[in-house]
Amino acid sequence: MYFDGTQLKKVFLNAKSKRFGIIASNVVFDSTIRGLLQGYNNNHSDGLLQISSGACKYAAGNSKDIIIGAEVISSIIKILSKQFNNSGVGLHIDHATPNYFDFIKECVEKELVTSVMIDASKEKFEENVRITKEVVSLCKRHSVLVEGEIGYIKGTEDEIVSETELYTSPEEALAFVIQTGVDLFAASVGTNHGVTKGEKVELRLDLIKEIDDLLIDNGVETGIVLHGASGLTAKQQQIAIRNGVVKINKDTDYQYYMAKAVQEYWEKEKDAVVCPKNVHYDDYTPDKKRFDPRKWIIQAEQAVKNQVESLVSISGSKNNSIINN
Ligand SMILES: [Zn+2]
């Protein structure tokens, strides 16, 4: 089923108290969405689907109208998820930078999403707090959850950045959570995409615990989000969750397994569209039964389903849906 923001809040509180992680999966197409919904539901696991501004532009077609794209994706999710009663999903906007404030506002007011990420991490701390607070106040009125981000390198064009600047400082995290009232925040612990580009950065899973302990000690326990997690081992993800992570973002993983499944199909079924070298073209007929897009796109859909099923087992959200629990 499709959750509203209030139900989604319950999902994250439950995950935090039981120490398991919700897999947040980036989507663009109906095939990905179907694969994910089936995978989450088969495993009685709640989940979150995510859209980026780029995904919305793609979904809209040549107009690249991000609102149209968000409406398309949101509608597909809301309609398809009606079939599934063992689990629920929400829809989240991933990495909306401050220039996308109007996009967030329209999505929230049109009830297209259940949660949003405002990523003002490239701004100075005070400015990040100011912008994030503004989004929190807008979203609270519509019971939509907000994820913020801290700990990013200030200005990627800066050539000289000390390594410690890559990581979220626990004190800053505490101040950010108290001042903004976010429901979730992305901490930079050495995985954040973009930040680690071209550099070898040490994964600091201990830092998650340090941040989590400090927030708990100050009575403001909050869900920590792990970005850029596709490259992590199962063990590393489980330690991150035990240390306080409740939302693990996955995008690249699915892209890879979808491409691999379709490649494997075409390697095997190539002669359905390409005349084999030993056959004369006059004697060759393409095979509609095998090039029907439903035959090969379903391979990608199955791959997504299999992958999310494995991810919810690793993160512990399997059999932990707030439905019937
Ligand atoms: Zn991210």
pLDDT in tens, 235-274: 999 999 999 999 999 988 899 999 999 999 999 999 999 9
Q: What is the Cα–Cα distance from 10 to 37, expressed in whole angstroms?
A: 19
Q: What is the DSSP string of 115-166?
A: EEEE--TTS-HHHHHHHHHHHHHHHHTTT-EEEEEE---S-TT-S---GGGG
- pLDDT above 90 covers what percent of the chain? 84
Cβ contact 152:188 at 8 Å: yes
Q: What is the Cα–Cα distance from 168 to 210, expressed in whole angstroms?
A: 10
**What distance in angstroms lies between residue 289's CA and the mean position of ligand 1's atoms?**
40
**What distance in angstroms lies between residue 282's CA and the mean position of ligand 1's atoms?**
52
In b/e form, how buried is each residue of 145-179, taking b as 16+ CB within 10 angstroms? bbbbbbbbbeeeeeeeeeeeebbbbbebbbebbeb
pTM for the structure as a whole = 0.92
| Residue 306 burial by Cβ neighbours in a 10 Å radius (0-12, 13-18, 19+) | middle
| Residue 181 burial by Cβ neighbours in a 10 Å radius (0-12, 13-18, 19+) | middle
- For 64-122, what is each residue's pLDDT tens digit? 999 999 999 999 999 999 999 999 999 999 999 999 999 999 999 999 999 999 999 88
Q: What is the pLDDT of residue 201?
A: 61
Q: What is the pLDDT of residue 152?
A: 59
Q: Which domains does the chain have, with CATH numbers?
A: 5-315 (3.20.20.70)
| Residue at 246: amino acid letter | V
The arithmetic mean of pLDDT across residues 180-207, rounded, is: 76
**What distance in angstroms lies between residue 271's CA and the mean position of ligand 1's atoms?**
40
**What distance in angstroms lies between residue 249's CA and the mean position of ligand 1's atoms?**
7
Confidence of residue 189 (pLDDT cuts 50, 70, 90): confident
| pLDDT of residue 158 exceeding 80 | no
**What distance in angstroms lies between residue 188's CA and the mean position of ligand 1's atoms?**
10
| Residue at 4: amino acid letter | D
Confidence of residue 193 (pLDDT cuts 50, 70, 90): low
Q: Which of 94, 212, 251, 253 is catalytic?
A: 94
Greater model confidence, 142 or 159: 142
| pLDDT of residue 165 exceeding 60 | no
Q: What is the pLDDT of residue 192?
A: 56
**What distance in angstroms lies between residue 276's CA and the mean position of ligand 1's atoms?**
44
Q: What is the Cα–Cα distance from 129 to 126, expressed in whole angstroms?
A: 5
**What distance in angstroms lies between residue 318's CA and the mean position of ligand 1's atoms?**
23
Mention every residue, 6+ apart, whose C-beta is less than 8 A from residue 154: 122, 124, 165
| pLDDT of residue 23 exceeding 60 | yes
| Residue 30 burial by Cβ neighbours in a 10 Å radius (0-12, 13-18, 19+) | middle
Q: Is 94 part of the annotated catalytic residue set?
A: yes
Confidence of residue 127 (pLDDT cuts 50, 70, 90): very high
